[in-house]
Amino acid sequence: MPKIDLNEVELPELTLTLERKLILLAEIDALVESTLELRSAFAAGGHQLDTSAWKLVKTVDDVRAYRSRRALHGVSDQTGDTCEMDSHASSSRSSSQGSMGTRDKTSSLGSSLHDKSSSLGSSTSSSGEGRGHRKVPKKTARPPAVVISGIIDGTAEDAMLGIISDTEVKFKIRQAYLKTELDDARTLAVLVLPTRENPFAYAAVKWGLEPYSHFSQARDFVFLEAAGFSTDSKGEVVAYAVRQSVDLSDILDLPRLPNIIRGYMSGCQTFGNITLLGNTGHPTVEVFSRAFIEMDGSVPVNMAAAAYAEKLLALALCMECAYTHKLAYLMRQATGRGHHGSSRQITSSSNCTNCTRAVGRVFFLQLQRGGCCRICQRTFCGRCSVTRKMYVSLGNEMLQKSMLFCLECLLEAKSLDARIVASDKINW
């Protein structure tokens, strides 16, 4: 299927009343609150899932992706609601028993994760096309839940810097590194914009497209995208990122693209800073995500869930995206001040500033490659510098360029406060 550029699609104007905006924001808050409850239950269960209910899809470093093994077939709306209510009642009774074993906790968590995901799925699916109720086919399946958990380097603020995409350029940079969920997206309406005082608060309604060229037709999604910080039951501040399908068919008539099926997704990623004893070592973040995707069509639900889990696993790369924003910030700062007043001595020497090796000469058939650091403009050899591939926006395209940085500037960028960078980028 040829690639569809959403920028070439003429979109109708979307006008949201204040009441509708508040409803959408409340939906985001409810999803975040539900995810934080599941995150707490997951921690109480020893950060383990019941392997009889959950299948490990993939592991990358210290981050693992799971999908639920349960899929209910041939369930009518009424039966589904009854099962859901019974499940929630059972979950509530289980959560009130403080002396339950670890296996009971993980089993209860698995049930809650699946049922809450299914609940969201049924609510969005049932109102997807027009204002009428969509008929349930004879053979239906609740979408399996997906869970991502693990530890990554960085801070929760770094994660937000890498994930938030309130502009088209930030979205393209995010997708270049993360390649998650969507190939392209357009903003339909903005609910909350970042400010210099609160640079990580963002919410918008978007329309996105994912080709799924490997195994199925392309899907499009109308969804809420949001990011920010919330507080869990223990009073700990946790960062979150949300993508949640939403039905706006009563006020929005999107063009029907050829060979495109409407999909439904619900996902909430959370990032909590891990406290370091005595401030030793590098900062790390605990990642917990719950999600599901319902693709309709003939795609097997387990195949869709496994593919979705692998895509969400790339969220660990949000730190690389944040690192790129920090390096771009330092380059911008260096250019703005013209290097005047800098405590570092700018050199044009052919020798490395750090080790005095000759740069660009051949020794023992090995080229001592190097060059000028893109931030401090000092000369370094290949051993005292690092060449990073960074994405640069050029119109509607993202170009990958190799840039050289010295180790000192790389360390400065890594330790830079993400809030400072995020606040500054609002004016870019």
Per the domain annotation, does 46 fall within a domain? yes
Q: Is residue 404 part of a domain?
A: yes
Averaged pLDDT for residues 387-409: 87
- Closest by alpha carbon to 291, among 307, 275, 278, 279? 307
Residue 134, pLDDT score: 39
Inter-residue contact 150 to 63 (CB < 8 Å): yes
Measured distance CA(428)–CA(417) in Å, rounded: 18
Q: Are strands 260-262 and 218-231 parallel, antiparallel or unpaired?
A: parallel
Q: Which residue has the tokens 């944040």?
A: 322
The overall longest dimension of the chain from CA atoms, in Å, is 77
What percent of the chain is modeled with pLDDT above 70? 70
The single-letter DSSP state of residue 250 is T
| Residue 420 within a domain | yes
Query: Which CATH number do you get for residue 188?
Result: 3.30.530.20
Is 178 a member of any domain? yes
If asked whether residues 356 and 300 sit together in one domain, one would say no
| Listed ranges 101-105, 129-133, 346-350, 403-407; the one with the highest mean pLDDT | 403-407
Same-domain pairing of 230 and 362:
no
| Structure confidence by residue, pLDDT tens digits, 78-119 | 444 433 333 333 333 343 333 334 344 444 555 555 555 444
- Residue predicted with more confidence, 260 or 127: 260
Structural domain of 396: 325-425
The answer to whether residues 249 and 377 belong to one domain is no
Do 370 and 268 share a domain, yes or no? no
Instruction: Round to whole Å and give the CA distance between 421 and 428.
Output: 11
Tokens of 333: 């700062």
* Residue 114 sits in the same domain as residue 211: yes
One domain, residues 147 and 278? yes
Asked, for residue 1, whether it belongs to a domain, the answer is: no
Q: Are residues 148 and 212 in the same domain?
A: yes
DSSP annotation string for 343-406: SSPP---SB-TTT-PBSS-EETTEE--EEE-TTT--EEEGGGEEEEEEEEEETTEEEEEEEEEE
Cβ atoms of residues 241 and 226 within 8 Å = yes
Work out how many domains the chain is built from and give that number: 2
Residues 125 and 70 in one domain: yes
- Predicted pLDDT of residue 26: 97
Q: Does 106 share its domain with 255?
A: yes
Question: Higher model confidence: residue 179 or residue 389?
Answer: 389
Number of Cβ atoms within 10 Å of the Cβ of 259: 9
Q: What is the DSSP letter of 264?
A: E
* Residue 405's CATH number: 3.30.40.10
The Cα 324–Cα 343 span in angstroms is 24
pTM: 0.80
Q: What is the pLDDT of residue 193?
A: 95
Could you report the per-residue pLDDT of 122-141, keeping only the tens digit for each? 444 333 444 333 333 334 45
Per the CB < 8 A criterion, the answer to whether 225 and 242 are in contact is: yes
- pLDDT the model gives residue 185: 85
In a shared domain, residues 248 and 271 = yes
Element (H, E) at 172: helix 168-178
**Domain end call among 314, 337, 363:** 314
How far, in Å, CA of 146 to CA of 123, rounded?
A: 18
101 and 176 share one domain: yes
Q: Among 270, 287, 314, where does a domain finish?
A: 314
Among 314, 334, 363, identify where a domain stops: 314
Is 412 within the bounds of a domain? yes
Q: Quick check: is 319 in a domain?
A: no
For residue 182, the 8-state DSSP code is: -
Structural domain includes residue 104: yes
pLDDT band at 4 (very low <50, low <70, confident <90, very high): low
Are 258 and 392 members of one domain?
A: no
* 294 in Cβ contact with 389 (< 8 Å): no
